[in-house]
Amino acid sequence: MRSGSFKSYVLNNSGQGRVSGFFLPGEIIGMDGIASKTYANSTVALEHSSICEIPFTQLEKLSHQLPSLQHHFFAITGNEITKDQQVHTLLSSYTAEERTASFLLGLSSRYARVSFSPTRFLLPMTRSDIGEYLGLTVETVSRIFTGLQRKGLIEVNNREIELLDIKSLRAIIGDH
């Protein structure tokens, strides 16, 4: 990904969506389905965005010539797996507030990585998207946001968000 933002999702039998991940600049879309050619996820842009397409077969050939690229690529896939397992932990043992705090801090550090403000940014996704990602309903996400704001940890105005007290946000998760 070059710029903008995307979400990946899967549709279940009843036609309802479930968000499997968000993508910010510098990140890689489509790590699942690598080499298998079948992708479980659909992906849509959440705003005007730009990407750089990398044909896997070419990358594969190239990494066969360049051991360091091969190694790097293995490392990337390994990290992707680790990341997915962290989500597993998040969903299986965190409360709604812990999940939301973790989500916000995650976005923060991902924005920081591309030199955006880690404390003040626009949420590219809807509350509903966040809920589907975290396994919560829209209403719960909204309530948690309101709650965190009331505690003075964040400041939200529609899509604008500012993390006022990162330390306390971390503490919410840290208790766990």
Kindly list the residues in this chain that would bind DNA in the complex (CB under 7 A).
95-97, 123, 126-128, 135-143, 145-146, 156-159
Q: DSSP letter for 49, please.
A: -
Q: Which helix (H) or strand (E) holds 167?
A: helix 166-174
Contact, 124 vs 47, CB < 8 A? yes
Q: Which residue blocks in 34-137 are alpha helix, DSSP H?
A: 56-65, 67-93, 96-113, 127-134
Q: Based on CB atoms, which residue is closest to DNA, 110 or 127?
A: 127
Q: Based on CB atoms, which residue is closest to a copy of itself, 104 or 121?
A: 104
Q: Based on CB atoms, which residue is closest to DNA, 18 or 64?
A: 18
Binding partner of residue 10 among DNA, a copy of itself, none, CB cut-off 5 to 8 Å per kind: a copy of itself
Binding partner of residue 35 among a copy of itself, DNA, none, CB cut-off 5 to 8 Å per kind: a copy of itself
Binding partner of residue 156 among a copy of itself, DNA, none, CB cut-off 5 to 8 Å per kind: DNA
Binding partner of residue 126 among DNA, a copy of itself, none, CB cut-off 5 to 8 Å per kind: DNA
Order of strands, sheet of 160-163, starting from the edge strand that comes earlier in the sequence: 120-122, 160-163, 154-157
Q: Based on CB atoms, which residue is closest to a copy of itself, 1 or 87?
A: 87
Binding partner of residue 51 among a copy of itself, DNA, none, CB cut-off 5 to 8 Å per kind: none
Which residue type is seen at 64? H
CB of 34 to a copy of itself, least distance (A): 3
> Phi and psi for 51 in degrees, rounded to 5?
-130, 170
Q: DSSP letter for 50, please.
A: B
The set of residues, in sequence order, having a beta carbon less than 8 Å from that of 136 and lying 6+ positions away, is 96, 99, 100, 130, 144
Q: Which stretches of the chain bind a copy of itself, using CB under 8 A?
A: 10, 12-14, 18, 20-21, 31-36, 40-41, 60, 63-64, 67, 70-75, 77-82, 84-89, 91-93, 132-135, 174-176
